[in-house]
Amino acid sequence: MNIGNKTIGGDNPVFIIAELSANHNGSLETALETIKAAKRTGADAVKIQTYTADTMTLDVKKPDFMLSQGTIWDGKYLHDLYKEAYTPWEWHEQLFRAAEEEGLICFSSPFDATAVDLLEKLDAPAYKIASFEITDIPLIELVASKGKPVIISTGIAEKEDIELALDACHRMGNKDVAFLKCTSSYPAPIEEANMVMVKDLSERFNVISGLSDHTMGSTVPVVATCFGAKIIEKHFILNKKIGGPDASFSMDEKEFTEMVKAVREAEKAMGIVDYSLTEKQKKGREFSRSLYVIKDIKAGEALTEENVGSVRPGFGLHPMYYSQVLGKKFINNLEKGSRLSLEDLEK
C-alpha cells in the first residue's frame, strides 16, 4: 500500500499519523501550528476530519440525540458537539498545503458524500473510515471507488461488520485496505486495548493492520508495533491548555515525540528470526565458560575434577567435552590457567 511517498506494510517503517480532529479548537492559526508541531515529532502524516454538524446529525433536542453513553461528552447534544468540533471546510485547502510544505502527508476522514467530493478536489491520497462509520456501507463503497487506500477503524465492529466493510471495498475493485484495532472509549482503558487483535486482523482478513489509539501514553502503540502494526494513529494537540472536546486524551508535542521514538526503537528491537551471531555477539562469547587447567599438571597425570574446571573466559575446550575427557592422561606439562585442548590429552 502506498500513501503519498510512503510505502506501508512489509518491512517498511510503521506509518505514524497525528490525528488533528477537534484540536484546533476553532482556530485556523492553531491548526496550522499543530501541523508544524506534528512534523517536529517525527510523524509521517496528519489527518483531519471532514464533516459539518448538519452532515453528521440533526439539530434536535430530543433524548435520542443527547450523549449519555458514559463518555466525556455526556450531557451534550450531538449537533452541538459536532458544531464545536468540526474543521471548517474552507480551511481544508490551506491545511493540505501546509502539510505538504512541511513534508507531511495529509488526508481525512469523510463522513458523507459531500465530504468525499471536497477531498477528491483536494486530491487526498487516502481515506480513513472512522470507527462509528464502519457500518455505513454506502460511504465505504463510495470511498473505495476512488481507487485510493482505505484505512478503517474497527472500534465498534463485530467480525461481520469487518467482513461487510472489506467486501464493500473489494466490490469496488479496491484491495488497498487496512484495518486499525481501536477501542472506542475516550480515553480508552489500557486493559481493553487487546493488542493481539492487531495480528489477528492482518492474518484473518489478509490486510495491513494497525492501531487507532485512545489510551493514555505510549505503551499500547509500542505493544501494537510488536504485534505487527504497520499504521499507528494517535490524537495530537499543540497544547492541552487550549482545551477542546478531544484535549483530555490527546498527546502534546513532547508526548507524541516520545511515542514516535519508542515506536521506532520497538521496530529496531523486533529484529528477525536468526540464530547466527553478529561480530559483537561473537566477541561476547569470550565471556562464556570453557575448560581450563585449574592447578599445575605434569605429563602422565589423569584429568580430574581437581585439576580441570569449567570457568570463564571461553577460549578453552567447550564444556560439553568435560565428561568425555575425565580420566584421560595429560601428555604435556601444563600450568594453572592454561586452556585445555584435546591435543593435550592421550587419544
**Local structure of 214: helix, strand or coil:** coil
Q: What type of residue is 345? A: L
Q: What is the mean pLDDT of the chain?
A: 94
Give me the pLDDT at residue 248, please.
Answer: 82
Which of these, 307, 313, 312, lies nearest to 344 by C-alpha position?
A: 307
Report pLDDT for 83: 92
Instruction: Note the pLDDT of residue 197.
Output: 96
- 61 band by pLDDT with thresholds 50, 70 and 90: very high
Domain boundaries, the chain: 2-51+86-270, 279-344
Mean pLDDT (whole number) for 90-114: 97
Burial class (CB in 10 A: 0-12, 13-18, 19+), 165: buried
Query: Could you tell me the CA-to-CA distances from 287 to 33, 125, 310, 311 in Å, in that order?
Result: 53, 53, 12, 9
Instruction: Kindly report the pTM of this predicted structure.
Output: 0.86
pLDDT value, residue 242? 86
Q: Do 150 and 144 form a contact (C-beta atoms < 8 A)?
A: yes
Q: Is the pLDDT of residue 231 over 80?
A: yes
Superfamily of domain 2-51+86-270: Aldolase class I (3.20.20.70)
- The CATH class that applies to domain 279-344 reads alpha beta
What is the maximum alpha-carbon separation in the chain? Answer: 103
Q: Give CA–CA dist 86/24, Å, rounded.
A: 9
Using CA atoms, how far apart are residues 207 and 147, in angstroms rounded to an integer?
Answer: 16
Cβ-in-10-Å burial (0-12, 13-18, 19+) of 279 comes to exposed
Q: Residue 28 is placed in which grid cell?
A: 485556523
